[in-house]
Structure 1
Amino acid sequence: MKQLKEWLKAKLSKALAPEIDQQLGLNQKLEEVRLYGISPWYQGNFWEPPVQLALRDLCRPGDVVFDVGANFGGLTTVMSRMVGPKGVVCSFEASPRIVDKCQRNIVLSGCSNVQLFHAAVYYKSYSKVPIYLGSHLNDSIYAEQSTGTQGYEVSTIALDDFVEYTKLVPNLVKMDIEGAEFDAIKGMAKTIESAKPHLILETQPEDTRCLDFLLEKGYISIDLNTYQTIENAQDYPPGVGIRNNLYIHQDRLSQVPYNPPFGFQEVTTLEASDFQGKDNGSIGLKTPLILDKGRYLIDVAFTAKGMDNDLTCGVKIGKQPIFRYHAYSNLLASSYRDWVIHLSETSKIDLYFDFLNETFDDTLLVQGAKITEITDFKNANTNLYF
């Protein structure tokens, strides 16, 4: 994710360079074009699609949910629509240079059920922590997670104190705070014991502190890109970077469709010959693939060396994307090859690799894909509206 954010900033800065007036400066110009805006909800939001799918399953109308590390609001707005007009979303963003962008996107998206809090979620309240600047929208309270330059100091809040004061008890907590997740988990230990909320945590595979703590508290952990249960660092696929883990307490398994071990059924294996290139270097299936209603893991084998291009890849129904990643080809080929989709009805799908802005990478090679159905979700429905 950090590489993706760095690429986005560099790409947009380069594209805007000829227009930048020296008196205005780069930062102001980027603000003017709303670099950190998100797509209107009716045009589709593809921020972290495997996490979004879990949010659609677990955020129910009327729920209280927390978005810890809201960033610019990409998932806050999803959660807002999922819990609906009778629900409550409490979003927390620590970085002073990010929180205004988050607030703006919440307002522009019409999220009247969201309250944004400018504080660092931590293991104790009424303290101060430094905010170290990231290379993009990835500031952290830890220098090793950032560029190492301290830009700000902010107040802290423990979620146990917040819950006690507001009486808002979360049914679900999504947390992505650049390596500070364990500090935040320690600060909500009472809430975890009493309410047993569902948790979605960004995770470094080698850092098992949250995993160990929550397993001891009676939770199970599921890798949202593979739907495999995680009990230790060796359970992740070899060589992976940042993951997103879903934690469900064993006492609440009957309430949700996530009840591992899951059943897997191989649907088909696609070969390189099943794909075809286009004149602009983009690649897609020669013939659309028909899949029944259900949830599918799509493991795509592709390689690329290019770093100066603009590529989207994912799954379409007709011309409409339902799953999408967006970065440069080498990053996507090295880190974003396990896709997850859910179909509400039998559909014709295409696996696509589309270059944008007249860019190209002649090293892009799609070697095939393995499609597997997660049979437990055959009759599961995601939220009616989005």
Structure 2
Amino acid sequence: MHICDYPPIYVDLRTDHARFLLRGEPWPAPPREQAEQTVMRRLVRPGDVAFDIGANVGLHSVLLSRLVGPTGHVAAFEPNAALVPNLRRTLRPLGNASLFDCALSDDVGPAQFFVPADNMKASLANWTDRAADGEAREVTCQRARLDDLPAAGAVPQPDFIKCDVEGAELLVFRGARRLLDRPDAPIVLFEINGHTAAGFGLDPMEAKNFLEHFELPEYAFYQVRADGSLLRLGTSNPWSNVLAVPRSRLAELSELGAPVVNAG
């Protein structure tokens, strides 16, 4: 599959998502999540280390690879075994990306993983609507804690994290306390979704609240709007993409041209 000037992205034509993507090929712009990609283009720099947590087919991984350049690195995390072979084929030629076929969480070892017909909704919780999405297949995946990986030499400390894991964002953050609670913490782009959070029995704001309690980074939170501009996040917004920026990097929002809109 070809999207604007990105490297080729390989997909499985047996899936509805892949067929949707191919119907619009070649895409002049990313077919999904353009606002998130606008944020990445503004904030990810050459030489950065970027994590794509919940990489799916690699749409964001290939962009991040281009943004960090030959001196940077991208670590892509994807637990859906059905996506891994094509994702590996997509990432291999990039030269600056590695793939981890596991679900990041706050525990390690095997876990149930639920895969509906739309593989973009696959999750550690069976959160989808059976009537609308069909019966989710239950498979087994391996879990890992993000904090364990830098210590093992598997990945370096990141500068930027994109995390879209269908409701498991809080679990990812719980397993990454050491990596996130530090003055030089990464910028984190993540999703708040009331439906997916409910699948885990969580309030949708819990992932944001968890990051907010870290003392060292002093995260500020912004809602990513449809045009890629940023709006200071209120106390309750169960449906948004959120950018968490540590105090040490707040100046970059203006320096790199990321427009911030004041609420009100």
- Calculate the TM-score normalised by the size of structure 2: 0.76
Contact preservation (8 Å) 2:50, 2:74: yes
Label 1:69 to 1:29 Cα distance change in 2 as closer, same or farther (>3 A).
closer
- Structure 2 Cα separation of the partners of residues 161 and 61 of structure 1: 26
The answer for the alignment partner of 2:164 in structure 1 is 176
Q: Summarize deviations over 1:17-74 as a string: whole Å, max 9, x none.
A: xxxxxxxxxxx8637xx64877999954343111001101111001111000000101
1:222 matched to 2:209? The reply is no
Alignment map for 1:242-257 (pairs within 5 Å): 242-257=239-254
The answer for the alignment partner of 1:118 in structure 2 is 101
Which consecutive residues of structure 2, in runs of 5 or more, have no partner in the other structure?
1-11, 195-202
Label 1:29 to 1:223 Cα distance change in 2 as closer, same or farther (>3 A).
closer
- Structure 1 Cα separation of the partners of residues 181 and 25 of structure 2: 38
Contact preservation (8 Å) 1:130, 1:150: no
Aligned AA (2:94): C
Label 1:128 to 1:46 Cα distance change in 2 as closer, same or farther (>3 A).
same
Q: Summarize deviations over 1:148-175 as a string: whole Å, max 9, x none.
A: 6342111111111012112501001100
1:191 matched to 2:176? The reply is no
Aligned-residue RMSD, C-alpha = 2.9
Percent identity between the aligned chains?
23
The answer for the alignment partner of 1:293 in structure 2 is none
Question: 2:45 is paired with a residue of what secondary structure?
Answer: coil
The answer for the alignment partner of 1:11 in structure 2 is none
Aligned AA (2:110): K
Deviation at 1:82, TM superposition (A): 0.5
Contact preservation (8 Å) 2:39, 2:258: no
Question: 2:232 is paired with a residue of what secondary structure?
Answer: coil
1:152 matched to 2:139? The reply is yes
Label 1:221 to 1:171 Cα distance change in 2 as closer, same or farther (>3 A).
same
- Calculate the TM-score normalised by the size of structure 1: 0.53
Label 1:146 to 1:175 Cα distance change in 2 as closer, same or farther (>3 A).
farther
Deviation at 1:261, TM superposition (A): 9.7
The answer for the alignment partner of 1:101 in structure 2 is 86
Deviation at 1:90, TM superposition (A): 0.2
- Structure 1 Cα separation of the partners of residues 31 and 127 of structure 2: 28
The answer for the alignment partner of 1:203 in structure 2 is 192
- Structure 1 Cα separation of the partners of residues 46 and 129 of structure 2: 37
Deviation at 1:179, TM superposition (A): 0.6
Contact preservation (8 Å) 2:222, 2:244: yes
The answer for the alignment partner of 2:74 in structure 1 is 89
Higher RCO structure, 1 or 2 (CA under 8 Å, sep 6+): 2
Q: Which moved more, 1:167-176 or 1:36-45?
A: 36-45
- Structure 1 Cα separation of the partners of residues 62 and 165 of structure 2: 18
- Structure 2 Cα separation of the partners of residues 187 and 41 of structure 1: 38
Aligned AA (1:142): A
Contact preservation (8 Å) 1:145, 1:179: no
Question: 2:111 is paired with a residue of what secondary structure?
Answer: strand
Which consecutive residues of structure 1, in runs of 5 or more, have no partner in the other structure?
1-27, 265-386
Deviation at 1:96, TM superposition (A): 1.0
- Structure 2 Cα separation of the partners of residues 68 and 151 of structure 1: 21
Return the index of the structure with the highest Cα Rg: 1
1:30 matched to 2:14? The reply is yes
Deviation at 1:255, TM superposition (A): 3.4
The answer for the alignment partner of 2:3 in structure 1 is none
Label 1:40 to 1:66 Cα distance change in 2 as closer, same or farther (>3 A).
farther
Deviation at 1:104, TM superposition (A): 3.0
- Structure 1 Cα separation of the partners of residues 124 and 99 of structure 2: 19
Label 1:172 to 1:142 Cα distance change in 2 as closer, same or farther (>3 A).
same
Label 1:263 to 1:244 Cα distance change in 2 as closer, same or farther (>3 A).
closer
Aligned AA (1:222): Y
- Structure 1 Cα separation of the partners of residues 128 and 156 of structure 2: 31
Q: Summarize deviations over 1:58-116 as a string: whole Å, max 9, x none.
A: 11001111000000101111101100111100000011112223223334xx4221111
Alignment map for 1:288-327 (pairs within 5 Å): none
Label 1:172 to 1:29 Cα distance change in 2 as closer, same or farther (>3 A).
closer
- Structure 2 Cα separation of the partners of residues 29 and 161 of structure 1: 35
Question: 1:177 is paired with a residue of what secondary structure?
Answer: coil
Contact preservation (8 Å) 2:114, 2:124: yes
